[in-house]
Amino acid sequence: MAYEFKLPDIGEGVHEGEIAKWHVKPGDTVKEDQPMVEVMTDKVTVEITAPVAGTVGEILAKEGQVVKVGSVIIRINTTDAIPEKVLVPTASATTAVAERPQPRSKVLAAPAVRKMAHEMDIDLSRISGSGPGGRIRKPDLSLPTAGEKRVAYRGMRKRIGDHLVHAKQTAPHFTYVEEADLTHLVQLKADLEPVAQQKNIKLTYLPFIMKAVIDGLRQFPQLNSSLDETAQEIVLKYDYNIGVAMATAEGLIVPVIHQAQHKSLFEIAGEISQLSEKARQNKLTLPELQGGTFTLTSIGSIGGIFSAPIINYPEVAIMGIQKIEKRPVVRNDQIVIREMTYFSISCDHRVVDGSEAALFMKAVIKALEHPARLLVA
């Protein structure tokens, strides 16, 4: 009999998923619980295994196609009785899957040409062949007729884009920028680095900033909230789950330090390092990417004077961290060299007033300019 497998309910309010990669093809023999397909949701890629043993009859959803929960995506021919069990997908350790444009079946090209096009990441369906009947030859791959390189806008990149568009269109943004003198913080970090090394922890400025942010959020709880538009209520959060934006090959993702208010400086530093390594290896899990209440995004290692980041909706605020550099400033009518930087904060103006954002930033900066007490906060 033919077993029709429907895209299961992945949970977390997900109603659809994108077929990221098939591990089987029509005619393949599959075993029960054999990896069958990877489905990408808003946050992570879920690996779904074969529910029954048999032979793949028909694949009904192509890679890159977005399908609704409950839609039939594959038929498996089996002679065994179909077990009555709940089909639960297992969360993959990946957050994205490599994307390759799928050439059209009508493209005329020899296998060697197809291999060359694959290695050059060229979509053959966009090439005009110079051979008989429009057949594509190797020289065609480097001719000006190729014109440009196009990469499919799908997968994690599209998910990130859709989320940002929704955030920007839903929440009226405003951005506030403030300058900070971090001379004492730079010295404190240098003093603590030998201790961190003994603990095998990489110490950056982020744990200090996170500690100061939590202190500021305690004073201005509106910034640690979300807006329930259905109930028309502002939801103030008791936990401080601080997201840290991280760049990966697939795009920007935001793993979360949960209940950061209960963690020491070194505990936060260690967790940031672990999440960063998992992000590089595409091994973040769904819980590590959910539940954020406030986000930090840093481009200080790249440069720039200040930024206007987009809110990680449904959060209502995100703080941008810029590079720290020595600059001449006036202190007591004297020009001195200090370690200076800029911080920016973007807020949802429906929930946060400009004055409130400014006072929050001043509280954060005050804590960072006198950082010793962050060690016991």
Grade residue 143 by pLDDT with cuts at 50, 70 and 90: low
Q: Which residues contact 19 (CB under 8 A, 6 or more apart)?
A: 37, 38, 39, 40, 61, 62, 63, 64, 65, 66, 67, 73
Is a pLDDT exceeding 80 seen at residue 44? no
Q: Which of 3-7, 115-119, 232-236, 344-348 has the lowest mean pLDDT?
A: 115-119
**Whole-number pLDDT of residue 1:** 78
pLDDT top residue among 8 and 43: 8
> Taking residues 38-57, what's their average pLDDT?
83
pTM: 0.69
Instruction: Determine which helix (DSSP H) or strand (DSSP E) holds 359, and give its type and residue range.
Output: helix 354-369
Q: Which two tokens stand for residue 37?
A: 């397909």
Percentage of the chain beyond pLDDT 90 is 58
Q: Of 107, 170, 153, 101, which is closest to residue 310 (Cα–Cα)?
A: 170
Q: Which two tokens stand for residue 312?
A: 């990680």
For 165-186, what is each residue's pLDDT tens digit?
Answer: 999 999 999 999 999 999 999 9
Is a pLDDT exceeding 70 seen at residue 95? no
For 204-232, what is each residue's pLDDT tens digit?
Answer: 999 999 999 999 999 999 999 999 999 99
Is a pLDDT exceeding 60 seen at residue 30? yes
Q: Which of 108-117, 152-161, 359-368 has the lowest mean pLDDT?
A: 108-117
Q: Which of 7-16, 221-230, 276-285 has the lowest mean pLDDT?
A: 7-16
Q: Which of 122-144 are b and which e, b meaning 16 or more Cβ less than 10 Å from the residue's Cβ? A: bbbebbebeeeeeebbeebbeee
d(CA 45, CA 283): 10
**Whole-number pLDDT of residue 343:** 96
- At 369, phi and psi to the nearest 5? -80, -15
The per-residue DSSP string of 29-87 comes to: EE-TT-EEEEEE-SS-EEEEE-SS-EEEEEE-S-TT-EEETT-EEEEEE-SSPPP----
User: Taking a C-beta distance cutoff of 8 angstroms, is the pair 3, 76 a contact?
Assistant: yes
Quickly count: other Cβ atoms within 10 Å of residue 108's Cβ: 14
- Angle, vertex CA 187, rays to CA 258 and CA 201, nearest 5: 40
pLDDT top residue among 243 and 114: 243
For 301-360, what is each residue's pLDDT tens digit?
Answer: 777 788 899 999 999 999 999 999 999 999 999 999 999 999 999 999 999 999 999 999
- Listed ranges 117-126, 128-137, 248-257, 295-304; the one with the highest mean pLDDT: 248-257
Q: Which residues are 226's β-sheet partners?
A: 235, 315
Quickly count: other Cβ atoms within 10 Å of residue 150's Cβ: 12
What does the mean pLDDT of the chain come to? 86
Q: Which two tokens stand for residue 144?
A: 């000006």
Q: Which of 118, 163, 173, 349 is catalytic?
A: 349
Going along the chain from its start, the domains and CATH numbers come out as 2-91 (2.40.50.100), 100-151 (4.10.320.10), 157-375 (3.30.559.10)
**Whole-number pLDDT of residue 255:** 96
User: Taking a C-beta distance cutoff of 8 angstroms, is the pair 367, 180 a contact?
Assistant: no
Grade residue 107 by pLDDT with cuts at 50, 70 and 90: confident
Mark whether 349 is an active-site residue. Answer: yes
User: Taking a C-beta distance cutoff of 8 angstroms, is the pair 316, 225 a contact?
Assistant: yes
- Listed ranges 79-88, 186-195, 300-309; the one with the highest mean pLDDT: 186-195
User: Taking a C-beta distance cutoff of 8 angstroms, is the pair 180, 371 a contact?
Assistant: no
> Cis omega before residue 314 (within 30°)?
yes
Q: Which of 145-154, 190-199, 357-366 has the lowest mean pLDDT?
A: 145-154
Q: Which two tokens stand for residue 366?
A: 């005050």
User: Taking a C-beta distance cutoff of 8 angstroms, is the pair 308, 344 a contact?
Assistant: yes
